[in-house]
Structure 1
């Protein structure tokens, strides 16, 4: 990893989420606020990092407290020779370029059915598309998700490139949180 003023190094405890299943275990870590402050945005953002020296790339999620949390899958846990409760060394920095987000199939179908919306969607930035997807997928109820997809297509078709009234950090709306950890 290249050193720069956006590189953050810290130690953190790997936490076990309450909702982790036995067949697909994973851990998570909440970034210290000073490490998160070096990132380009408070919402979802992609980082290149290392855990105990093992390199990875991952998308961080906002924690609603002006920081981020990182999901650490079993493969990365194994590579880092770590498990729940271990204190591990992290080094992270923003990815040079935000990768294109995966567009959920229901949004893809809606955009395909709305050529004007699709045209504006294609003309937006990767970050804007990431925020649209985040807004849609953060809906807690299926009917809210459907409404947000309809609203997104309508707003995009009218030329709106950014989702309005959406706090991607969760700080003001308290929409996002890190998982709850097993004590």
Structure 2
């Protein structure tokens, strides 16, 4: 029996995260008997993708449609797309740039932390480093990424001041932050420290707070 599902869905903006998503019109838990962050594969308007589902049983699940998928599908926000989707049971592997591998050998704790990141996060890091053509530029990218990862790793041990200030303004957000999975928290911390300017980091921190508040509200309804 095929586990594949086919449907038409609307490309819509999601919250304040500047995401574009398609909501799944069926109950994932009942259909595939699985947890929230299921790995999936399929096509959007015939363009192949592999990703993970987001959402929850309470609010429904959705697929994040990134810019590459939008371009490949020839689709824009507000348009309808045809989705074919099924669980992705193949083992996922990601390559690590040579420049980054050499740097991580010098930082054992950071290497272990990096290996605990999600596949998608590691893929993003790889793309960021491999984009430049020159070896010198790739090395600079790798060094910058190591610095960002170290800041994010330290942020797990002790919240950075930028988040502490936001939690002081939004007390309920702390409960939502603590309810996130380690992978989700690492993703937000990496997102914050991806930026160099204080203004950009503050803006990205507010997105993390928005997500934490949403989780806190969901948890409070479950009680």
Tell me the TM-score normalised to structure 2 length. 0.42
The answer to whether the 8 Å contact 1:8/1:38 transfers is no
Give the structure 2 partner of residue 135 of structure 1.
Answer: 181
Give distance in 2, aligned partners of 1:35 and 1:9: 13
Q: 2:46 aligns with which of 41, 53, 58?
A: 53
Equivalence for 2:218: 174
**Which structure has the bigger radius of gyration?**
2
SS of the equivalent of 2:181 reads: helix
Give the distance between the partners of 1:37 and 1:80, measured in 2 at CA: 28
Q: CA deviation at 1:76?
A: 0.6
Structure 1 vs Structure 2 CA RMSD: 3.6
- Conserved 8 A contact 1:29-1:71: yes
Q: Which has the higher helix share?
A: 2
What are the equivalent positions in structure 2 for 1:127-166 lying under 5 Å apart?
A: 135-138=181-184
Shift of 1:38: 2.6
**Which residue in the other structure is 2:116 paired with?**
103
By how many angstroms is 1:34 displaced? 4.5
Q: What residue number does 1:92 align with?
A: 85
- Equivalent pairs, count: 115
Deviation digits for residues 102-161 of structure 1 (CA, Å, limit 9, x no counterpart)? 624639x98xxxxxxxxxxxxxxxxxxxxxxx622445xx9xxxxxxxxxxxxxxxxxxx
Deviations 1:58-112 (A, max 9, x none): 11112342731111001110000000011110000000235379624639x98xx
CA distance in 2, matches of 1:38, 1:90: 16
Which of 37-46 and 82-91 deviates more?
A: 37-46
| Consecutive unaligned residues in structure 2, runs of 5 or more | 95-114, 118-148, 158-179, 189-213
Contact (CA 8 Å) 1:31, 1:67: kept in 2 or not?
yes
Show CA shifts across 1:151-179 (max 9, x none): xxxxxxxxxxxxxxxxxxx99x835xxxx
